[in-house]
């Protein structure tokens, strides 16, 4: 029996108008695997992560997390998290308040 991938892309593409950011990706990440997305700036790495997190929806294809199709599932209902490069902190709040707000 084959284990269900933790993350799977099936024919995933993402377009912004006439610009194709991600084009037809098929990817299956086995359970507990460590994966790195490598490539030059603008090749679609962040777009892929944003689709996993639910911050972007694919233009076509499907994103699965642990076998569940994530279409229409908002970020706060997904079993994944994302740490952004630009910190979204409130400078007037202490650490506990910033964490609690999230």
Where in the sequence is the domain holding 75, given as residue range(s)?
A: 7-101
- With CA atoms as reference, report the closest residue to 56 among 16, 23, 25: 16
Q: What is the pLDDT of residue 86?
A: 66
Could you tell me if residue 79 is inside a domain? Answer: yes
> By 3-state DSSP, what share of the chain in percent is helix, strand and coil, each rounded to 5?
20, 30, 55
Q: What is the pLDDT of residue 96?
A: 85
Whole-number Cα distances in Å, 45 to 30, 41, 42: 19, 8, 8
Average pLDDT, the chain: 91
Across the beta sheet with 19-29, the strand order is 19-29, 7-16, 60-65, 68-69
Could you tell me if residue 83 is inside a domain? Answer: yes
Q: What is the pLDDT of residue 90?
A: 77
Could you tell me if residue 95 is inside a domain? Answer: yes
Mean pLDDT of 66-82: 93
For residue 77 the two structure tokens come to 């209902």
CATH classification of the domain holding 46:
3.40.50.300
**Is 66:4 a contact under the CB 8 Å cutoff?**
yes
> pLDDT, tens digit, for every residue of 13-25?
999 999 999 999 9
> pLDDT, tens digit, for every residue of 23-60?
999 999 999 999 999 999 999 999 999 999 999 999 99
Higher local confidence (pLDDT), 95 or 90: 95
Number of structural domains (the chain) is 1
Could you tell me if residue 51 is inside a domain? Answer: yes
């Amino acid at each position: 029996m084959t284990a269900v991938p933790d993350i799977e892309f099936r024919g995933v593409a993402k377009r912004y108008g006439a610009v194709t950011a991600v084009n037809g990706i098929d990817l299956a990440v086995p359970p507990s695997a460590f994966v790195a997305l490598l490539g030059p700036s603008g090749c679609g790495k962040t777009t892929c992560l944003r689709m996993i997190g639910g911050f972007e929806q694919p233009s076509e294809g499907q994103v699965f997390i642990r076998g569940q199709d994530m279409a229409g599932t908002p970020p706060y209902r997904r079993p994944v998290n994302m740490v952004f490069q630009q910190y979204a902190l409130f400078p007037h709040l202490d650490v506990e308040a910033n964490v609690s707000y999230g």
